[in-house]
């Protein structure tokens, strides 16, 4: 199985990431990539990344660490509709759960899920 990895978003991949499309009905579960990138632009504690397999961008994630208590968040994760239902979201989340605590030297990670997003609860 191909390994999930993450790349920073830059001028070479930003337009590809901005074109990530969710399945119909998922649009209300997460902010758009553009909204996430704007938020990260205004607050540099956010770390937006491409989710990749081989040389293909299959999704987007954003994580960060905030406050005096150093609360680490995996706040956004989305997989393009073409790559959903293949286990990539779960694999990306598990990989982020390895990376984020090391990057921020924390032992607890937070996330949030829209109540109606039943698939996200499985992650």
Secondary structure (DSSP) of 57-117? EEEEEEEEEETTTTEEEEEEEEE-GGGTTSSHHHHHHHHHHHHHHHHHT-S-EE----TT-
Give residue 115's Cα distance to chain centre. Answer: 18
pLDDT digits (tens, 9 = 90+) for 35-47: 999 999 999 999 9
pLDDT digits (tens, 9 = 90+) for 78-109: 999 999 999 999 999 999 999 999 999 998 89
pLDDT at 2: 80
Whether 97 contacts 91, CB under 8 Å: no
Number of H helices and E strands in the chain, helices first, is 4, 5
User: What global pTM score does this model have?
Assistant: 0.89
**Which range has the top average pLDDT, 21-30, 37-46, 114-123?**
37-46
């Amino acid at each position: 199985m191909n390994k999930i990895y993450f790349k920073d978003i830059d001028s070479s991949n930003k337009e590809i990431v901005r074109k990530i499309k969710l399945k119909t009905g998922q649009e209300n579960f997460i902010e758009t990539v553009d909204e996430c990138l704007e938020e990260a632009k205004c607050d540099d504690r956010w770390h937006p990344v491409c989710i990749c397999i081989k040389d293909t961008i299959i999704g987007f994630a954003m994580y960060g660490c905030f406050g005096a208590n150093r609360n680490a968040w995996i706040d956004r994760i989305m997989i393009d509709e073409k790559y959903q239902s293949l286990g990539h979201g779960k694999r990306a989340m598990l990989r982020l759960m390895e990376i984020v605590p090391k990057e921020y030297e924390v032992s607890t990670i937070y996330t949030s899920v829209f109540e109606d997003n039943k698939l996200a609860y499985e992650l």
